[in-house]
């Protein structure tokens, strides 16, 4: 009886082994590339916000959101206050009605 190391490997099996190795390396490279792109994308500096935002008297903030060039504060008295992102000045006030 011959030892297992002396048995010739079929060509199809050799091809399959190489194919699996190449595909594994490609997938590992792809995952590393995706991780690198996510890190690069989210590593950018955060958007500039004004130092302070003055709310009208008696208003209490309950939510905050932002967009290109503006930021909005939702108050507990059912108003949406839209401010300029750079200066912090009030652009618009929207009353929310039931």
Q: Where are the domains of the chain?
A: 8-42, 61-95
Share of the chain above pLDDT 90, in %: 49
Confidence at residue 74, expressed as pLDDT on a 0 to 100 scale: 93
Query: Vertex 82, ends 62 and 69: CA angle to 5°?
Result: 120
Structure tokens at 36: 């690198």
The answer, as to whether pTM is greater than 0.75, is: no
Using alpha carbons, select from 42, 48, 94 the residue that is nearest to residue 69: 48
Around 97, how many Cα atoms within 13 Å sit in the side-chain half-sphere? 0
Tell me the per-residue pLDDT of 18-64, one tens digit each, with 9 for 90 and over: 999 999 999 999 999 999 999 888 877 777 777 788 888 888 999 99
pLDDT band of residue 3 (cuts 50, 70, 90) is: low
Confidence at residue 1, expressed as pLDDT on a 0 to 100 scale: 54
Structure tokens at 82: 């839209």
């Amino acid at each position: 009886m011959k030892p297992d190391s002396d048995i010739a490997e079929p060509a199809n099996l050799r091809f399959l082994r190489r194919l699996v190795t190449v595909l594994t390396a490609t997938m590992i490279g792809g995952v590393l590339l995706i991780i690198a792109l996510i890190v690069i994308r989210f590593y950018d500096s955060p958007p500039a916000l004004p130092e302070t935002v003055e709310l009208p008297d008696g208003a209490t903030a309950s939510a905050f959101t932002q967009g290109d060039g503006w930021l909005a504060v939702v108050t507990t008295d059912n108003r949406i206050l839209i401010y300029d992102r750079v200066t912090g000045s009030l652009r618009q006030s929207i009353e929310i009605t039931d």
